[in-house]
Amino acid sequence: MLPEALPEISDTDLEQFFQILLTQYGYDFRGYAPASLKRRLGTVLRRYGLADMQTLNQRLLSQSDYFERFINEITVSTTELFRDPSSWAALRAQAMPPLLSLSQLRIWHAGCSTGEEVLSMAILLHEMGLYSRSQIFATDIDGYSLEQAQKATYPLRYKALYEQNLQAALPGVSLSSYAKEVGGQLVFSPSLLSNVRFLRHNLVMDAAFGQFELVLCRNVLIYFTPSLQDRVVTKLVDSLVTGGVLMIGTKESLFWCTAAKRLLPINDGERLYRKRQ
């Protein structure tokens, strides 16, 4: 059987949607890549049995308590522990060494989703003996994902994949040193989050909020138009100290970003860059 087609969304409907989010909620989605945004809006319409985009727009106008759930539904929260393991191995081997002698390591995960990337970093820092010197800020636009992230608890079905990614990223390190099965779930040690602060932050609307030795913004830029990627990457690079490291997703690029000239590649294939003098 063919999957049911998603409802059509016109540019006029989309324009009205942008205006409602901007004026009623202060969220600007105009810089999100339209094709994938329309696809996700179509999925929301189908899930709720809404006839068309006008009905969704009406709902957003009249039911402000629906907005939080909507943000969760419209964003893509896909993530993994040690996602793209070779990037983590390169981060450790090639990007971290100059940071080892620092007395503090401030790290920002921009778009941390449900927290697996933050736990990966915490495990890496533990393994390198750096965790106690580290202060980690983990932010996302989506409050539901942030709530999940703070629980550090995941369905057991991910265990094999997480074990495999961890082995590929940090050979010899066992997942059982950091997580255990409790009540049919995979629960990470709370000590991994003791130096982590989770905060709501919108990369499009909110100002940068500190200076960091390491900024990770992975698999977030891919949902933005080139001009929004340019603006957001400028914000990320402004947030790095000289010599600080930027890590983006392996399927992302700095091609559109003027701030790229303020970076030197550490490993271009793994999307690791250092802020130049």
Binding site for ligand SAM (CB under 6 A): 75-79, 83, 111-113, 117, 140-142, 145, 202-204, 218-220, 249
CA distance readout (Å), 221 to 76, 258, 276: 12, 14, 22
At its nearest, how many Å lie between ligand SAM and the CB of residue 240?
17
102 or 159: CB nearest ligand SAM = 159
- How far apart CA 2 and CA 6 sit, in angstroms, is 12
8 or 147: CB nearest ligand SAM = 147
At its nearest, how many Å lie between ligand SAM and the CB of residue 28?
8
At its nearest, how many Å lie between ligand SAM and the CB of residue 142?
4
10 or 227: CB nearest ligand SAM = 227
193 or 203: CB nearest ligand SAM = 203
User: What one-character DSSP code corresponds to residue 6?
Assistant: P
84 or 213: CB nearest ligand SAM = 84
At its nearest, how many Å lie between ligand SAM and the CB of residue 29?
8
Place of tokens 């969304």: 9
Please report the beta strands in the chain, taking only residues with DSSP state E, as ranges in sequence order: 105-110, 134-140, 153-155, 179-182, 185-188, 196-200, 212-217, 240-248, 263-267, 272-275
Which residues have CB under 8 Å from 215's CB, separation 6+? 107, 108, 110, 236, 239, 240, 244, 245, 246, 247
At its nearest, how many Å lie between ligand SAM and the CB of residue 2?
27
